[in-house]
Amino acid sequence: MSEQVNIKELNERIKKESEFVDLISMEMQKVIVGQKALLDRLLIGLLSDGHILLEGVPGLAKTLAITTLAQTIDAEFSRIQFTPDLLPADLIGTMIYSQKKEDFMVKKGPIFANLILADEINRSPAKVQSALLEAMQEKQVTIGEETYKLGKPFLVLATQNPLEQEGTYPLPEAQVDRFMLKVIVTYPSRDDERLIMRENLQKVFPSAARIMKPEDIMKARDVVKEVYIDEKIENYILDIVFATRNPEKAGLAQFVPMIHYGGSPRASINLAKAAKAYAFIKRRGYVVPEDVRAVCYDVLRHRIGLTYEAEAENITATDIISEILNNVEVP
């Protein structure tokens, strides 16, 4: 009984603590029409300290979304355009010689910000990609002999253009696993596109107001960690992830030749974290199965390796996740 009371109290507190979510969403929707799923995923990444890989054709407001989010939380923002001639030093910074001081000094790179847009990450060679991924993982950068901590919060939103794959450097599967979510951005609906067109023809383009500070996000992250996740939900998450590794045990033997490898333990961790953040965004103090299902595609789609057989039969990771969710028993 006491646990129920605690959940009730927790629910009330999280309802109060998560009020800012609606304010951020309102401000962002002043600037960005539609793309509700993308805005939610940005908040999930921000609140659960995870990075996001975005895939979509150009012109779908990917850059606008993260710059607007940076405005609403008054965070420092950097946009890095990845190109084939980019060097790790262009990203993290380097040592330069100062004639005035007659000594070497550190010139910090654009990675020293709160929100980073790594635009078209697959356009740069592995050396640059690994420099970014190391910074994402370690939350620090080494220049010369000194190690420098990166800002808090620190969120990388990397974009990949699914078009023009010739001459690009696709991210290795092991590296892609470091992104908490892989979000596919699709075209807007006809009505949304009409609004987008009208907004862009106005004399003044709308802008978002500042709602909070970066330190408020750090406090909110601690509250998100308190969201209650029942053992039944934990088992549900494990059942889903284990079904990607041993599909035959989940009654999906037809997928055995399709799956090269399944989700790593990072998949389970990130599914739980994202479900908690999603519950928080929905102003709830506890996780329900719908929260897990809502974030499942974004957490798992880049963690399931497909065989040539799957590609030959046009089976995608999304198809496999759908079948797993249909087959795994919901608590």
Tens-place pLDDT, residues 236-251? 999 999 999 998 888 8
Tokens for 135?
Answer: 């910074």
For residue 286, the 8-state DSSP code is B
Mean pLDDT score, 280-309:
91
Mean pLDDT score, 15-21:
82
- Could you give the domains of the chain? 20-217 (3.40.50.300), 227-327 (1.10.8.80)
Give 132-183 pLDDT, tens digit per residue: 888 888 888 888 778 888 888 898 999 887 766 655 777 877 778 889 999 9
Considering the chain, what is the average pLDDT of its residues?
85
Q: Give me the percent of the chain exceeding a pLDDT of 90.
A: 20
Q: Is a pLDDT exceeding 50 seen at residue 1? A: no
d(CA 179, CA 157): 9
- 6/300: higher pLDDT: 300
Mean pLDDT score, 12-41:
82
Instruction: With CA atoms as reference, report the closest residue to 294 among 304, 280, 306.
Output: 280
pTM: 0.86
pLDDT of res. 331: 82
d(CA 218, CA 3): 27
For residue 155, give the 3-state DSSP assignment.
Answer: strand
Q: Within a 13 Å sphere around the CA of 246, how many CA atoms are in the beta-carbon half?
A: 5
Helix axes 214-225, 2-17, angle to 10 degrees: 160
Give 58-117 pLDDT, tens digit per residue: 777 777 888 888 888 888 888 999 888 888 888 888 878 777 777 777 788 889 988 999
- Provide the terminal-to-terminal Cα distance of the chain, rounded to the nearest Å: 20
Q: Give me the percent of the chain exceeding a pLDDT of 70.
A: 97
Q: List the single range of 18-22, 45-49, 177-181 with lowest mean pLDDT.
A: 18-22
pLDDT of res. 164: 62
Q: Is a pLDDT exceeding 80 seen at residue 20? A: yes
For residue 159, the 8-state DSSP code is E
pLDDT of res. 271: 95
Q: Is a pLDDT exceeding 80 seen at residue 327? A: yes
- The confidence band for 27, taking pLDDT boundaries of 50, 70 and 90, is confident
Write the DSSP string, 79-140: EEE--TT--HHHHHEEEEEETTTTEEEEEE-TTSSSEEEEETGGGS-HHHHHHHHHHHHHSE
pLDDT of res. 5: 47
Q: Is a pLDDT exceeding 50 seen at residue 2? A: no
Mean pLDDT score, 7-25:
83
Q: Is a pLDDT exceeding 60 seen at residue 127? A: yes
